[in-house]
């Protein structure tokens, strides 16, 4: 499972996602432009001392990610998608794509990938969830389906 953040804006959210990826052995892809410096103190603080545990890859644009992983399935998250995140059958290597905090993913991208666009159910009046919370919800559902691969087992 790999996480793709398209133009993330808030360092604390990305730092939290770094920590999530470290704890769950996930690669994190950051698509430019970023709304912060990777050296940002708030980003570092939120990621705590987990940075060395994460494979972070930075891309100039989303097309670069598509070109680098042509055989992968990309799931695009949006509060407007018709498919619920827990109804999807995930497989190893899937790419979970999340948009920037203020605007989400571009509408044309979601329309072009309607069958692999997913949402987290919530009240109609709610606009969206916090980015790091959404990444945690979707990624843990995917890992649950896969039997929590590569994670510590308590005996």
- Residue 153 resides in a domain: no
Number of domains into which the chain is organized: 1
Q: Token digits for 25?
A: 């052995």
Residue with tokens 């990777």, as numbered in its chain: 38
Is residue 86 a part of any domain in this protein?
A: yes
Specify if 155 maps to a domain: no
Q: What angle do CA 100, 104, 106 make, to 5 degrees?
A: 110
19 within some domain: yes
Q: Indicate whether 48 belongs to any domain.
A: yes
What's the CATH code of the domain at 89? 3.40.1280.10
The answer to whether 124 touches 90, Cβ cutoff 8 Å, is: no
Per-residue pLDDT, 46: 55
Range of the domain at 77: 2-146
How far is Cα 65 from Cα 61, in angstroms, rounded to an integer?
A: 7
Asked whether residue 28 is assigned to any structural domain, the reply reads yes
Is 120 annotated to bind a ligand? Reply is: yes
Residue ranges in the chain whose pLDDT is less than 70? 40-48, 152-155
For residues 147 and 98, give the distance between their C-alpha atoms in angstroms, rounded to a whole number.
Answer: 23
In a domain, 84, yes or no: yes
pTM of the shown model = 0.92
Residue at 152 is within a domain:
no
């Amino acid at each position: 499972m790999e996480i793709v953040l398209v133009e993330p804006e808030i360092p604390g959210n990305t730092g939290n996602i770094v920590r999530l990826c470290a704890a769950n052995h996930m690669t994190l892809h950051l698509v430019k432009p970023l709304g912060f410096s990777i050296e940002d103190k708030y980003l570092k603080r939120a990621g705590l001392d987990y940075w060395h545990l994460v494979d972070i890859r930075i891309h100039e644009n989303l097309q670069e990610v598509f070109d680098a992983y042509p055989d992968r399935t990309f799931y695009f998250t949006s509060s407007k998608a018709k498919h619920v995140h827990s109804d999807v059958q995930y497989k190893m290597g899937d790419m979970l794509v999340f948009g920037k905090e203020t605007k989400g993913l571009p509408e044309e991208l979601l329309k072009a990938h309607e069958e692999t666009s997913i949402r987290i159910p919530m009240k109609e009046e709610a606009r969206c969830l916090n980015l790091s919370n959404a990444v945690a919800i979707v990624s843990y559902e995917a890992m649950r389906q896969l039997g929590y691969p590569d994670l510590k087992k308590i005996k």
